[in-house]
Amino acid sequence: MEIEMTTRIARSQSALHRLLDEIETGACPKPDWIHLQGDCRLDQMQPDARKHLLARLHACVLRGFRASNARPKSRAKRLAYWRAVAQAGFHDFTEQGWMKNYDSPFVENYDYVGPYLEGGLRALDAYQAYSSVLGTHDFSVEDFINTDLCRDVQTIVEPMAGTAEFAYQGHFRYPQFRYVMFDLDPDAKKHVEAKPWLPDTERHYVVADVLDEAIWQQVKSLTTGMSLCYIGKQSHHFFGAKQLYRLMELATSHVDYFMLEVPEPSLVADLEDEDELTREEMEDAGFQIGLTDKKGFSTNPLTNSLHFQLEAWDKRDRRTLFEYGDWTSWPHHTLVAFAELLDLKSMYFHGDKTEFVPVSEGEHDGDILENVTFMVFTRHH
Ligand SMILES: C[S@@+](CC[C@H](N)C(=O)[O-])C[C@H]1O[C@@H](n2cnc3c(N)ncnc32)[C@H](O)[C@@H]1O
Give 104-119 pLDDT, tens digit per residue: 999 999 999 999 999 9
Regarding the beta carbon of 232 and ligand 1, being less than 6 Å apart is answered yes
Asked if residue 2 belongs to a domain, the reply is no
Instruction: State CA 129 to chain mean position distance.
Output: 13
Asked if residue 194 belongs to a domain, the reply is yes
Asked if residue 235 belongs to a domain, the reply is yes
Ligand 1 atom with least separation from CA of 134: 9
Ligand 1 atom with least separation from CA of 261: 8
Domain boundary among 76, 111, 146: 111
Instruction: Decide if pLDDT at 371 tops 90.
Output: no
Which region among 173-182, 266-275, 334-343 has the lowest average model confidence (pLDDT)? Answer: 266-275
**pLDDT tens, residue by residue, 29-77:** 999 999 999 999 999 999 999 999 999 999 999 999 999 999 998 999 9
Cα(123)–Cα(212) distance, integer angstroms: 35
The answer to whether residues 79 and 136 belong to one domain is: no
The answer to whether residues 97 and 246 belong to one domain is: no
Cβ burial of 339 (10 Å; 0-12, 13-18, 19+) is buried
DSSP code, position 328: E
Reported as a pLDDT band with limits 50, 70 and 90, residue 325 is confident
Average pLDDT over residues 129-151: 93
Asked if residue 223 belongs to a domain, the reply is yes
The answer to whether residues 265 and 337 belong to one domain is: yes
Domain limits for position 209: 117-381
Amino acid identity for residue 280 in this structure: E
Ligand 1 atom with least separation from CA of 188: 27
Q: Report the chain's mean pLDDT, rounded to a whole number.
A: 93
The answer to whether residues 290 and 222 belong to one domain is: yes
Instruction: Decide if pLDDT at 341 tops 90.
Output: yes
Reported as a pLDDT band with limits 50, 70 and 90, residue 131 is very high
The answer to whether residues 66 and 122 belong to one domain is: no
User: How close is the Cα of 316 to the center of ligand 1, in Å?
Assistant: 30
Instruction: State CA 157 to chain mean position distance.
Output: 15
Regarding the beta carbon of 206 and ligand 1, being less than 6 Å apart is answered no
Asked if residue 107 belongs to a domain, the reply is yes
Asked if residue 185 belongs to a domain, the reply is yes
Regarding the beta carbon of 209 and ligand 1, being less than 6 Å apart is answered yes
The answer to whether residues 235 and 175 belong to one domain is: yes
Average pLDDT over residues 173-191: 97
Which of 160, 168, 213 has most ligand 1 atoms within 8 Å of its beta carbon, as the pocket-test mutant?
160
Strand, coil or helix: 203: strand
Asked if residue 166 belongs to a domain, the reply is yes
Cα(193)–Cα(167) distance, integer angstroms: 12
309 compared with 154, residue with greater pLDDT: 154
Domain boundary among 111, 126, 156: 111
The answer to whether residues 223 and 359 belong to one domain is: yes
Cα(198)–Cα(177) distance, integer angstroms: 12
The answer to whether residues 144 and 242 belong to one domain is: yes
Domain boundary among 45, 78, 111: 111
Q: What is the CATH number of the domain that holds 295?
A: 3.40.50.150
How far is residue 233 from each of residues 86, 185, 259, 329, measured CA to CA in Å? 24, 16, 11, 12
Beta bridge partners of 320: 311
Instruction: Decide if pLDDT at 272 tops 70.
Output: no
- Cβ atoms of 197 and 175 within 8 Å: the answer is no
Asked if residue 1 belongs to a domain, the reply is no
**How far is the first Cα of the chain from the last one, in angstroms, to the nearest whole number?**
21
Average pLDDT over residues 267-288: 85
Give the residue, by CA position, lying nearest to ligand 1 atom 15: 160
User: How close is the Cα of 7 to the center of ligand 1, in Å?
Assistant: 36
The answer to whether residues 144 and 293 belong to one domain is: yes
Nearest to 184, CA basis, from 339, 56, 67, 323: 323
The answer to whether residues 169 and 314 belong to one domain is: yes
Cβ burial of 158 (10 Å; 0-12, 13-18, 19+) is buried
Give the residue, by CA position, lying nearest to ligand 1 atom 26: 162
The answer to whether residues 258 and 348 belong to one domain is: yes
Per-residue confidence (pLDDT) for residue 361, from 0 to 100: 78
The answer to whether residues 58 and 190 belong to one domain is: no
Regarding the beta carbon of 292 and ligand 1, being less than 6 Å apart is answered no
Cα(359)–Cα(350) distance, integer angstroms: 10
- Cβ atoms of 286 and 130 within 8 Å: the answer is no
47-60 vs 75-87: helix axis angle to the nearest 10? 40
In the chain, the percentage of residues whose pLDDT exceeds 90 is 80
**Who contacts 166 (Cβ-Cβ below 8 Å, separation ≥6)?**
136, 140, 141, 156, 158, 230, 232
Domain count, the chain: 2
Ligand 1 atom with least separation from CA of 166: 8
E strands, the chain, are 7-10, 33-36, 64-66, 98-99, 153-159, 178-183, 202-207, 226-231, 257-261, 274-276, 288-293, 305-313, 318-328, 345-350, 355-358, 374-378
Reported as a pLDDT band with limits 50, 70 and 90, residue 156 is very high
335 compared with 135, residue with greater pLDDT: 335
Regarding the beta carbon of 339 and ligand 1, being less than 6 Å apart is answered no
